[in-house]
Chain A
Amino acid sequence: MKLIRHGVAALLIFALMTTLLVGIFSDMEENYDITINGTIDNESVAQKLNNINLIGGINNLATAMYKLFPPTGADQDIIGALAAAAIGSLQLVGGVVTAPVDIFGVITQYYTIPSIVPTIIGLLTIIYVAFILLSAHLGMDV
């Protein structure tokens, strides 16, 4: 349980830092008239990271809160806002699970990873597992 708590806190820190970085970049774009390049779907890599489930869930929750306040008096608004909050919460919880895959997916969209890297990771994993099995077989650390 302690480990999960740390993982969730880590992802929240990641979300916070990504949001801050996107803010810095947007301000640069507006105030210094920089020309954006290297975008996919008109979004930079940090903006894409800002849209993953984890951070999208927080944004949905925030939108839901804004919708509730100030209330317009109509029932649908309150129900809609509650539904948005529920969806946002679900997205946030789901986002914690899918965050590593989401982050890796976004990075591979923008950067070409040399084909040798998966091979090296695969080999290292095999060696790692082999040593664990060997340790288990011998009953001692190797």
Chain B
Amino acid sequence: MAIGITNQTAVTLDNITSIANITEPMDFFVSVNHIIYEGLLFFILLFVIFIVIFYALQSRDKEFLINAMYSAAAVSILGFFLRLVQGTVNGSTLALVTDKQMWVFPILTAVLAAIIWATKEN
């Protein structure tokens, strides 16, 4: 199974019109995200921010699970905000991140919190 962006978006007049022909600024971001990047751009952005925050915390204190949890929690909040930005692409309402993408980090946070507590020594 291939992992990552597998399909290339063809530069067609339809696609260009869909991206350029907008009235709301947020529609533009949502269109670019869904037409060019197949809805993955902001999800990848969330992952990048997760890694950046994680390494920033690691440099202060080398606690792998705890740092991952705090990082995921911070990205979850950002994910909720990105989910609020909706736009219309080809007649359907879409957000910067889809629900499934948004729930990855909150669930990761909850699972990590459970693991950290379950493996506490005292």
Contact = CB atoms under 8 A, between A and B. Distances in A.
A111 to B, nearest CB: 7
Interface in A9-38: 9-11, 13-14, 17-18, 21, 24-25, 28, 32, 34-38
B117 A45 contact: no
Contacts of A111: 100, 104
A63 interface: no
A110 B117 CA distance: 26
Interface string B79-122: 01001101000000111001110011011011101111111100
A13 B117 contact: yes
Interface residues of A, number: 32
B113 A13 contact: yes
User: Chain B's interface: helix, strand, loop or mixed, by majority?
Assistant: helix
**Residues of B in contact with A, size category:** 20 to 34
B110 A14 contact: yes
Contact of A45 (B84, B93, B100, B111): B100
A46 B106 contact: yes
Interface string A104-115: 000100110011
B1 A11 contact: no
Contacts of B13: none
Contacts of B114: 10-11, 13-14
B30 to A, nearest CB: 12
Interface in A87-142: 103, 107, 110-111, 114-116
